[in-house]
Amino acid sequence: MPKSLDPNTIILCRSCDLAVQKRALPSNVRALCPRCHTALYDVPYCSINGMLALCIAALLFYIPANFLPIIEINFLGSVRTTTVFETAVAVWQQGYWIVGVAVMAAAVIAPGLLILSILLQVSIVKLKLHSCFWQKTYRSLLKNHATLSQLTMLEIYVISFLVAAFNLSDFSDIYLGMGTFCFCMLFLVILFLQREYNLEHMWGMADER
Ligand SMILES: [Zn+2]
């Protein structure tokens, strides 16, 4: 490491351990490692148009992901299909209401609210809504963002469909439905949305008051 580097602003590349001096970046720029081109830091990266596109894509997948069959079990001629929504209700009706609530919250309600919350925040920034009401809404959305983001746990369900499908496939025919595809796509879109979203940057766009 050259002696001139200030130790407080140095970061190590995650891939190749090269010491890099952190600098202030212009907006919408990602810093890459000069040696291996790994993304190093992207704090000010938060494309409003990109997030708007991802929100719309997520909304398009949201309804079919929750209300189309995720799994079709064909066991000795009897065919059963189920959706994420029905699964939560069925688990509730079997007496495991805590599990039902957890499935409902983590797979249906939280992702839906997260998408709507980001969509609203992006719209407020994009349409430059400076009135007191919109700024208040914007602030309260930002304050609740972390909770919604932590409650959204689609990956658990993607893994559990696959585990269930592989386990059941030994003694019955399993077909993964259109719902599974939409659910996986919803998972991917939300993953990219959360990667693009930067809370600190969103706070920077709130009106100073
Ligand atoms: Zn590197």
CATH assignment at residue 134: 1.20.140
Please indicate, yes or no, whether residues 103 and 175 belong to a single structural domain of this protein: yes
Please indicate, yes or no, whether residues 36 and 111 belong to a single structural domain of this protein: no
* Residue 28: inside a domain: yes
pLDDT mean over 18-34:
81
Range of the domain at 101: 48-204
Q: What is the structure's pLDDT at 197?
A: 86
Q: What is the structure's pLDDT at 114?
A: 93
CB–CB of 88/103 below 8 Å? yes
CB–CB of 118/40 below 8 Å? no
Give the count of domains, the chain.
2
Which residues are close to ligand 1, an ion, with C-beta < 5 A?
Answer: 13, 15-16, 18, 33, 35-36, 38
Tell me, in angstroms, the distance from the centre of ligand 1 to residue 41's CA: 12
Tell me, in angstroms, the distance from the centre of ligand 1 to residue 39's CA: 8
Distance of alpha carbon 127 from alpha carbon 112, whole angstroms: 22
Q: What is the structure's pLDDT at 1?
A: 46
pLDDT mean over 182-209:
83
Q: Is 99 helix (H, G, I), strand (E, B) or coil?
A: helix
Tell me, in angstroms, the distance from the centre of ligand 1 to residue 96's CA: 49
Tell me, in angstroms, the distance from the centre of ligand 1 to residue 37's CA: 6
Please indicate, yes or no, whether residues 81 and 20 belong to a single structural domain of this protein: no
Tell me, in angstroms, the distance from the centre of ligand 1 to residue 38's CA: 6
Please indicate, yes or no, whether residues 30 and 75 belong to a single structural domain of this protein: no
Mean pLDDT of the chain: 83
**∠ Cα 174 101 89 (to 5°):** 50
* Residue 2: inside a domain: no
pTM (global) more than 0.85: no
* Residue 209: inside a domain: no
> How far separated are the first and last CA of the chain, in Å rounded?
43
Please indicate, yes or no, whether residues 101 and 191 belong to a single structural domain of this protein: yes
